[in-house]
Amino acid sequence: MRKFATWALAFVFALSFAWPSMPAAAQEGSLKLVVDGVEVEGYEQPFLSQGKVLIPVDNLFQEAGFNVTKEAPGKLNVTNTYLTLDFSIADQKISVNGKATDEVFPLTLRNYGNYISSDFLDSLEGFDVTVSEEDNTVNVTTNRVQDIDAFLEKMMGADLKSYEAKMTLDQSMEADTEELSMNMLMDMDMSVTTDPVALYMTQKMSMNMGEETEELTTEAYFTEDGFLQSDGDQWLKFPAELTDGLLEASMTQADPVAQLQLVKAFMKGIHVFEYDDVYIITQTMTNEEFKSMMNEALSLFSGLLPEGVVEQTDVVEETVAEEATDEEAVTEEEAAEEATSEEEAVAGDEAATEEEAVVDADLEGEAEFDMGSILDMLDINIEKYFVVTVVDKATLFPKSTSGTTVIKMSMDGETVTIKQLINGVFSKFNEVKAIKVPAEVIEKAVTWDLGAELEAEKAAE
């Protein structure tokens, strides 16, 4: 960002010789920006320049539900995947869906020139602009659906009984230490039916971690008869108690009302754009929404754990509680002695991190310690979360999905950045036949006994 600011300042200085200077009066009298009835606040506001109304690009398109990216110094990209605009100071032009326009850019040197004219914006599909001189207001109306709840209910009620999907997941994790850094590429082919809920999936995964590379190919069946997954030449069948829970969760996922509730709870930043033949749904997520969603997921996961795992977790929690009780039983004399020792080692005590203090407080004062507390101690920052789904307007079936996520997590002075790109295409709607687990797979499958595995690990210790 600092490099961008330095470059931009130098470029603005150079442009000052090529572009006519604006008189002070032309920059006076800022206007208010209103997008779909919502006033957009911020330092940058529309203003009148040489007879044109100029609107700040960032504020406008972010409020309109587009993804705004500063790709490089002097370059700006805004998109909802159906409509994409590229702004280039070096080329002095704006491109729409990859095609250059006659619109000159930048039109002003103010705030590095990231402004668009009201006339050009009005010419774009899905935008209507009116300027009220009486109210000093620029009113921008988009093609967004206003009643999101009604649209989602209608979409979730679409007659979608089966489909196929091809998904690609490209994920990287960068950490302060090389041991934790990794890259993973996953290709998935899926066949899905919704009534009954069933899934067949093939998955190819390639993972690089340091100098180590691992490649894995798996198959999986998920039906009312159970969840089976290949492990090399062997097939593993997950325990019934785990499968039943997963199936119930999947049934919930296939329930339009349940899906709607989940979307409304964790995806407040939803925008639905209506075009001639498709709807474009964009989604964003805040840090608070991410934590809420993770807590919900952890709650669901803990409910699916077999009894052996739950019991082991309870034992750990009880041990923690007992240790906390023992610590509270320290006598006053021992406390005094410890205080004397602490005074001698005050320098080391001052080095304790805030996270360690939180952990100590939790262990001494709380009997319960769960995964949710770990989320509370993590400093999670969603630097970017933008997911787009293209929906066929006639059938309301999903056609494709794509998303970019950048999450930074910090704890105890260590930082991990997770970047994820996902792309998926859906096809063969209502053409997938009933998914059955082959008889030879059922015969070869070995039930995964998680409880026995835990007991073996405990005995080995």
pLDDT value, residue 453: 63
Task: Give the pLDDT band (50/70/90) at residue 427.
Answer: very high
> 52-69 burial by CB neighbour count: b if 16+ within 10 A, else e?
bbbbbbbbbbbbbbbbbe
Is the predicted pLDDT of residue 331 greater than 80, yes or no?
no
User: What residues does 410 pair with on adjacent strands?
Assistant: 379, 415
Position 375 scores a pLDDT of 62
CA atoms lying within 13 Å on the CB side of residue 459? 6
Give the separation between CA 15 and CA 11, rounded to whole angstroms: 6
Cα–Cα distance list, 440 to 199, 212, 235, 443, 445 (Å): 18, 35, 10, 5, 9
Span 82-99, average pLDDT: 93
Report pLDDT digits (tens) over 271-291: 999 999 999 999 888 877 777
* pLDDT tens-digit map of 350-373: 444 444 444 444 434 443 445 556
| Band (74; pLDDT cuts 50, 70, 90) | confident
Q: Contact at 8 Å (CB) between 396 and 154?
A: yes
Helix (H) or strand (E) holding 279: strand 278-284
E strand segments, 325-455: 379-392, 398-411, 414-427, 446-447
Cβ atoms of 106 and 115 closer than 8 Å:
yes
Residue 222, φ and ψ in degrees, nearest 5: -135, 100
Report the range of poorest mean pLDDT among 1-5, 58-62, 143-147, 154-158: 1-5
For the segment 227-238, the average pLDDT, to the nearest whole number, is 87
Average pLDDT over the chain reads: 76
List the single range of 252-261, 264-273, 388-397 with lowest mean pLDDT: 252-261
Position with higher pLDDT, 148 vs 266: 148
> Span 114-137, mean pLDDT?
93
Query: For residue 269, what pLDDT band results from cuts at 50, 70 and 90?
Result: confident
**What is the pLDDT, as a whole number, of residue 371?**
52
Max avg pLDDT among 128-137, 304-313, 345-354 = 128-137
